[in-house]
Amino acid sequence: MKIRTQAKQIVLKGGTLFDPLRQTLETGDVFIQDGKIKAVGKIAGPEGAEIIDCTGLIVTHGFCDPHVHFREPGREDKETLKTGANAALAGGFTRVCVMPNTDPPLDSPESIRFVLEKSAELPVHIHPIGAITKGQLGREISEMGAMQFEGAVAFSDDGIPVANGQVMRLALEYSRMVGMPIINHAEDPMIRNEGVMNEGIVSTRLGLPGNPDVAESVMVHRDLELAQLTNAKIHVPHVSTAKAVHHIRQFKNDTSLALTAEVTPHHLYFIDEALSSFNTNLKVAPPIRSEKDRLALIEAVKDGTIDCIATDHAPHTIEEKEATFDLAPFGLIGLESCFGAVNKILGQQSGLSLKTILTLLTLRPRKIMGFETDLFAEGCEAELVVLAADEEWVFGENDIFSRSRNTPFLGETLVGKPRYTIAKGSVAEIG
Ligand code: DOR
């Protein structure tokens, strides 16, 4: 991948333009001047502009990920804001929201400012999510108003569930005052117990402690009832079970509820059988589930119960991941492989249209997080991705730009590859 400063004038020539806001798909050009959209349609000239040939390629809004873990501050050996931004560019992402489980956690206005200042010059928009509780300890609500003032876009203790229902209720009440979503990592810690993988026939066969599906669904149900009680915005992260899907679907019947949900590429792609190899890169929280759960997730995307895709990109060192399965940390990286994995499962294998898949990666997460959605408008910053949507490719080490390597997608044939990612005055040529 080559990242360079944009030429003063660029024309993305002859691509198929997909506007997720208007749901239009048509052949055309995009003229970018000084990093901003100048015109969209049939563009003649201008003299001297850089031409990027987009024949046979899709040009659309840059992907937006509402859920990644970059490890700065504290674990820069796993990922920095800069290396995380590179992984994002390689995956076609122009905007990401970073979770606050850093060291120390992002639980104060100063820490929010730190992330924004540190990422100001990076070629990807990075939005910090503030911690729900001070120190992510699950006890005292953090200074939500002050963090919002500094630029936090949501609140979450992700990685750690808010176990105490009263704390969750208060968090929802306070978040309502600032109008931002609460994103709770829904896994009841007592029910999850020491589980390291999905509880079922496979965990029994492998002799690994199981984490039952109800650990997730019980807490999702609690959270949705509390959101209804408090009238707050709730976004359910990394839904992994058919039972949680069922609850979300039911609660979405209450149209006054501001409820949204996300699914990860890995929960759509893998099932617990794959853990038979004891590949620690498949150890993730919530765990990779059964085929029944996976099919329920696909169905939930199809009927709109699930609103968007989020990678939950969670880098860990090789040393940590080379431990035995029970000792290795939870998490896998997912930015670079996201589009190819999701497009393969939802598009090629499940018949969803490319329009729908791209909407799950662009418009929907932007709406949930309150970002600009009219990215083809004249004067808007050019924040685009150019995709070879049908290209089949094998995901390899050379496709990784994260500082970490903990991905279960190595060697997998994926469908669809980002070619160029354009944002913040830069162009990343992915190759
Ligand atoms: O597997 C996970 N790893 N799930 C999370 O929610 C947190 C993440 C991490 O930070 O490593």
CATH number of 62-369: 3.20.20.140
Rounded distance, CA 63 to CA 76, Å? 24
* DSSP secondary structure letter of residue 209: -
How far apart are the C-alpha atoms of 238 and 289, rounded to whole Å?
12
pLDDT tens, residue by residue, 350-382? 999 999 999 999 999 999 999 999 999 999 999
DSSP 242-257: HHHHHHHHHHTTSTTS
pLDDT at 280: 98
Cβ atoms of 86 and 144 within 8 Å: the answer is: no
Widest Cα–Cα separation across the chain: 67
- The protein residue whose alpha carbon is closest to atom 7 in ligand 1 is 159
* CB neighbourhood size of 256 (10 A): 7
Spatial neighbors of 68 by CB under 8 A, at least 6 apart, are 84, 88, 96, 97, 98, 99, 310, 311, 312, 313, 335
Give yes or no: 107 in active site: no
Question: How far is it, in rounded angstroms, from Cα 265 to Cα 284?
Answer: 12
Catalytic residue among 254, 312, 326, 390: 312
- Cis bond before residue 46 (omega within 30° of 0): yes
Domain ranges, ordered by start, for the chain:
2-59+378-389+414-429, 62-369
Instruction: Give the number of other Cβ atoms within 10 Å of residue 244's Cβ.
Output: 29
Is the bond leading into 73 cis (omega within 30 degrees of zero)?
yes
pLDDT in tens, 209-258: 999 999 999 999 999 999 999 999 999 999 999 999 999 999 999 999 99
CA distance 215 to 397: 34
Q: What is the pLDDT of residues 101-122, one digit of tens each?
A: 999 999 999 999 999 999 999 9
Relative to the CA of 331, which ligand 1 atom is closest?
A: 1
Token pair belonging to 380 = 């808007």
Q: What's the token pair of residue 282? A: 């498949």
Residue 292 in contact with residue 310, Cβ under 8 Å? Answer: no
Q: Ligand 1 atom closest to Cα of 185? A: 6
Which residues does a 6 A CB cutoff place in the pocket of ligand 1?
69, 101, 158-159, 185, 284-285, 312, 314, 330-331
Q: Is the pLDDT of residue 431 over 90?
A: no
Q: Is the dihedral of CA 26, 29, 34, 35 positive or negative?
A: positive
Neighbours of 87 (CB within 10 A): 30
Q: How confident is the model at residue 46 (pLDDT cuts 50, 70, 90)?
A: confident
Average pLDDT, the chain: 98
Stretch 270-295: mean pLDDT: 98
pTM of the predicted model, to two decimals?
0.98
Distance from Cα 101 to the centre of ligand 1, integer Å:
9
Tokens of 2: 């080559």
Share of the chain above pLDDT 70, in %: 100
Nearest CA to ligand 1 atom 5: 159
Ordered DSSP codes for 331-344:
----TTTHHHHHII
Q: Select the CATH number that applies to the domain covering 2-59+378-389+414-429 from these four: 3.40.50.300, 3.40.50.150, 2.30.40.10, 2.60.40.2550.
A: 2.30.40.10
∠ CA 350-355-356 to the nearest 5 degrees?
Answer: 55
Residue 13 above 80 pLDDT? yes
DSSP string, 15-63: EEEEETTTTEEEEEEEEEETTEEEEEES----TT-EEEE-TT-EEEEPE
Ligand 1 closest atom vs CA 238: 6
**Alpha helix segments (H runs only) across 71-159:** 81-90, 109-119, 144-150
pLDDT digits (tens, 9 = 90+) for 148-189: 999 999 999 999 999 999 999 999 999 999 999 999 999 999
